[in-house]
Structures are given as structure tokens and as C-alpha cells.
Amino acid sequence: EAQMVESGGGVVQPGASLRLSCAVSGFTVSDHWMSWVRQAPGKGLEWVASIDQDGSEKDFADSVKGRFSISRDNAKNSLYLQMNSLSAEDTAIYYCATERTIFEIWGQGTTATVSS
Amino acid sequence: SYVLTQPPSVSVAPGKTATITCGGTNFGDYSVHWYQQKPGQAPVLVIHYDIDRPSGIPDRFSGSKSGNTATLTISRVEAGDEADYYCQVWDSSSGGVFGGGTQLTVL
């Protein structure tokens, strides 16, 4: 059974950084584009970033471009999101998901809270 | 940036049919996907590529698209269908685009 488990969330001050991880089991991550999608408290879903199978192609939402980076370690079957220069607007549940143009399988999410 | 428009809320009685719409532009150029999100849970894909159901999704869920409107239809609605529903497309300029979401209330 495919499973994705996010970790790395927490409470940080504005301007700080966080690195989120997504550990995948039940399928081979190297076969798939992978993405991060977030959801601010009480709000809708927002696509954040996607990365191709070997990490050579990456897409970012305008709201995070230049501050966030996405990476993967296929040997560890894992996905990462490095978040820098965080602001209150980045407070959200962050989900990892398979694919890019469609988000087929989702993890349960990890919460990042940016607050002074 | 590309925008998808959904009604904020839809209400339906149990056993009836719920329809949730998603409006966009040049919809013929896009594949529309639908997600169900129950409170405190991650989203689940319920319709992909406009009309197809992923494995494990009941056939009470169906999708359609006509002109610049995509529609998610839930037949014989059950209390367990109460959730937020989101439409989504991939736009070459904007990336992943979600509608604002529709809260389905089962009366």
C-alpha cells in the first residue's frame, strides 16, 4: 500500500527556515514527479512546488519562488521542501503528493506555523 | 494567473443528487480533476481527467465538462459525502491551480 509521511513541521519566527521531509513507502518515488501542496488554516488548497523524476526539472508557485526549494533523494525514497525567509503567510499544513499535473496520492501533512 | 471558480457551498438532502460546478476559461485545453477533503483529513482524488473515477471511488461520483464549466455530480448522496470539494487543473504558466473549494452539506 502506498504511503507518504511528512515530517519537519513546527513553530518558527518570521524570517526563519524549515526543512520538510516526505518519506515514501509502497511505491518507487523515482518513477514519479512529486509535489508539495499546502493549506492555510481554514483556507483552500495551494500548489507549492513540483520536481521531476531525477530532480532536473522543478516548478514553483509565484508565492514561494526564490524562497523555497524542492529536492529528492531517490535512494531514500524521499522528498524535501526547504523553506527560507518564512512569513506568517506561509503558515499552513504542507502535504506531499505524487505527480504534478494531477495529485494522485497524498500524505497526511505536516504543519508549519510562522509566528513571533 | 489562471482562475477556477466554485460556489462556496452546496446543500443537498440524503439520497438526492449534488452538483458542484467549476468555472474556468478555455476549458477545452485543460483536464479537470476533483478532490474530496473531509475535516482533518488529506484530500482524496475522486475524479480525474474530467470524467474518470480512480480505483476505489464509488460510481455515485461522476464528472463532466461542457464549455467553460466542469461539474462534479454525486448521486444518492450519503452523510459520509459531507466534505469540501476542490477542482484543479495544471496551467502551463500558473502551475497547479485549485478552485476555492465547495463545502457540501448533507441536510
User: A79: phi > 0 → left, psi -120 to 50 → alpha, else beta; which?
Assistant: beta
Q: What is the pLDDT of residues B46-98, one digit of tens each?
A: 999 999 999 999 999 999 999 999 999 999 999 999 999 999 999 999 999 99
Helix, strand, or coil here: B7? coil
Which residue matches cell numbers 469540501? B84
| pLDDT tens, residue by residue, A47-70 | 999 999 999 999 999 999 999 999
* Nearest residue, CB atoms, B45 vs list A50, A60, A103: A103
Judged by a CB distance cut-off of 8 A, whether residue A85 touches chain B is no
Q: Which three cell numbers stand for residue A50?
A: 513540483
At A101, list the grid cell.
Answer: 499535473
B45 vs A contacts (CB less than 8 Å): 102-105
Q: How far apart are CA A57 and CA A97, in angstroms?
A: 16
The pLDDT mean for chain A works out to 96
A103 Cβ partners below 8 Å, 6+ apart? A35, A37, A97, B33, B35, B43, B45, B88, B96
* CB-side neighbour CA atoms (13 Å) of A61: 19
A78: pLDDT confidence band, cut at 50, 70 and 90? Answer: very high
Does B40 lie at the interface with A, CB-CB under 8 angstroms? no
Total Cβ atoms within 10 A of residue A102: 21
Computed from CA positions of residues B93, A29, B61, B59, in that sequence, does the dihedral angle turn out positive or negative?
Answer: positive
Residues 6+ apart with CB under 8 A from A72: A29, A34, A51, A55, A78, A79, A80
User: How many residues in chain B?
Assistant: 107
Chain A positions in Cβ-Cβ contact with residue B99 (cut-off 8 Å): 44
